[in-house]
């Protein structure tokens, strides 16, 4: 059985970065992804770069999913952006509340991602397949695990088609989250987000920021490697391949790789999994 896969990219900041990303995308297209998503900076700070990258992916013949955050936004601005995306031929959105840029007051006409999902549905009907975020290990700003689960259910009931999770290393957290969400009527596909391990310092920094838990044994092994990047990458490939294998055996609807604009780690993992 083939397992649908997809990739996330971020908009490059330099012409060199854009050129490297084009090469990485071409390599990853060999895996026939269902779609490629492109992130959106805090408060829409990378909007132009996001739209440019999405346009390139569409022109390359792949399906592109545009991240779309609403914090600090007005309904008029969101309506205009939706029209632009439709004109570009985008059919898939990843609807997020998003982070406020530092030093920015709360403001805006949307408080939650569920508000954005409901607005997109009201404005555009079924023009877009809407993905939302899911947090198997609980959103770092959630008041409680139950409040976080309810927030997810609200997004689904507002009109989301499917969800992509924050990355994690504990499959029990994922399967429990999906079971709990289904019991509350949120029965959309929840695709696990997969973060290849290529740098221990980068992984620690990301995980501390987004609330993803690194199991103690993984953290200690990574620390033990010090600056030995070859050992870190080799260990990371083993850990993530095993994680994906467990998820596949558990019947997940797909795998979404946070590529970090690189092709080699994801290609290696998918080859090991025979995807």
**Catalytic (active site) residue 268:** no
pLDDT at 99: 72
Do 94 and 161 form a contact (C-beta atoms < 8 A)? no
Residue 86 Cα distances to 37, 81, 146, angstroms: 16, 9, 36
pLDDT at 211: 86
Do 130 and 160 form a contact (C-beta atoms < 8 A)? yes
pLDDT at 121: 98
pLDDT digits (tens, 9 = 90+) for 4-54: 999 999 999 999 999 999 999 999 999 999 999 999 875 555 678 899 999
Which residue stretches of the chain are H helix? 15-29, 47-59, 75-88, 113-124, 145-157, 171-183, 200-210, 216-225, 229-249, 264-272
Q: Where are the domains of the chain?
A: 5-272
Catalytic annotation, pick one of 8, 56, 131, 137: 8
DSSP assignment, residue 158?
A: T
pLDDT at 43: 57
Q: Whose CA is closest to 49, among 88, 15, 89, 98?
A: 15
Beta-carbon contacts of 219 under 8 Å, excluding residues fewer than 6 positions away, are 204
Q: What is the DSSP string of 192-227?
A: EEE-----HHHHHHHHHHHT----HHHHHHHHHHTT
Phi (first) and psi of residue 90, to 5 degrees? -75, 135
CA distance 227 to 248: 32
Report, as ranges of residue numbers, the positions in the chain whose pLDDT lies below 50: none
CATH level 3 topology of 5-272: TIM Barrel (3.20.20)
Q: Strand, coil or helix: what is 140?
A: coil
Q: What is the distance between the terminal CA atoms of the chain, rounded to a whole angstrom?
A: 9
Q: For residue 175, is it left (φ>0), alpha (ψ between -120 and 50) or beta?
A: alpha
């Amino acid at each position: 059985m083939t397992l649908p896969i997809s990739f996330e990219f971020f908009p490059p900041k330099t012409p060199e970065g854009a050129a490297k990303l084009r090469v990485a995308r071409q390599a990853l297209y060999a895996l026939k992804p269902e779609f490629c998503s492109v992130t959106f900076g805090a408060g829409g700070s990378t909007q132009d770069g996001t739209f440019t990258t999405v346009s390139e992916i569409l022109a390359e013949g792949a399906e592109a999913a545009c991240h779309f955050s609403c914090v600090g936004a007005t309904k008029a601005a969101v309506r205009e952006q939706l029209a632009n995306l439709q004109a570009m031929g985008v059919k898939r959105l990843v609807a997020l509340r998003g982070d406020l840029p530092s030093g920015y007051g709360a403001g805006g006409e949307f408080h939650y991602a569920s508000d954005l999902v409901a607005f997109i549905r009201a404005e555009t009907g079924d023009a877009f397949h809407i993905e939302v975020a899911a947090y198997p290990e609980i959103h770092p700003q959630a008041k409680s695990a139950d409040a976080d689960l309810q927030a997810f259910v609200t997004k689904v009931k507002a009109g989301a088609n499917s969800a992509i999770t924050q990355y994690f290393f504990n499959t029990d957290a994922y399967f429990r989250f999906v079971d709990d969400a289904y019991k509350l009527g949120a029965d959309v596909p929840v695709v696990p987000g997969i973060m290849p391990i290529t740098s221990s310092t980068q992984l620690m920094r990301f995980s501390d920021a987004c609330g993803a838990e690194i199991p103690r044994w993984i953290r200690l092994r990574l620390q033990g490697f010090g600056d030995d990047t070859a050992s870190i990458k080799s260990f990371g490939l083993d850990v993530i391949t095993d994680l994906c294998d467990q998820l596949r055996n558990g019947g997940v609807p797909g795998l979404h790789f946070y590529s970090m604009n690189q092709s080699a780690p994801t290609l290696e993992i998918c080859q090991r999994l025979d995807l």
